[in-house]
Amino acid sequence: YNKVLNNIKRLVEAGIKVVLNLSLTPYNEADKEKILKIAEELKLNIRSTPYIYPPVRRQEAVTGENPARFTSAEAARVKTEYDLLRFGKEEFLKRAERLKKGSVLDTDTCCDPSAEGESMKCRAGKSTCWLNYKGKMSVCGMFGNDGYDTISDGFLNCWQRVMAERNAIRTP
C-alpha cells in the first residue's frame, strides 16, 4: 500500500496525469470513503465501477462464480452510495435528473460512424493497457491473449501494437 501510494505521489510530482481506477468489490467496499479522501487529498481524478465483468482468462466453468464480484443489484446499490459520496446530494440529484431525461454524461467522439460496428467505449488501448508481472502488455486484462513482450520489444513498440489491436476491435 505505502509503496503504491508513494509511487502515485512521485508520478504526480513529475507532472504525470494520474487517474485512479477503483474496482469496488465486497472486499474493499468499506474503504470507498478512505479511497475518495486519498484521491481528494492528492487532487486525483477517480473512476469507479462496482460491476466487474468476468475475464475470459478465467476458467469458463467458474465464470460468474466469483465472491469478489457484486451481483448486478448489489453493484447498483454500491454505485449509488459511491456517487452520493463522490458528488454530494445536490450534484447526485442533478445527474440523476439528466439520466432520467436520457442525456449522456460522458461523451466519447472516438467512434467512426462509417466503420462496421463501433470502437470500444472503454479506455483499454486508448489511454490504458494491461501489463502483467512478466512484462507482457495487452489491450485489456479480460482478453485471453499473452500480450506483447515489453522487455524484449520495448514499451513503445508494444504500446503501438496495443493501440492498433484496440482500433481493430469493433463492437456490435
DSSP secondary structure, 91-135, as one string? HHHHHHHHHHTT--SS------TTSSSB--SS-BTTTB-EE-TTS
> For position 63, what pLDDT does the model report?
52
Q: Would you say residue 132 has pLDDT above 60? A: yes
Q: What is the mean pLDDT of the chain?
A: 81
Give pTM, 2 decimals: 0.53
In the predicted structure, residue 133 carries a pLDDT above the cut 90: no
pLDDT, one tens digit per residue, over 20-77 is: 888 888 888 899 999 999 999 999 988 888 766 555 555 556 555 667 778 778 888 8
- The percentage of the chain sitting over the pLDDT mark of 90, rounded to a whole number, equals 30
Cα dihedral 116, 117, 120, 121 sign: positive
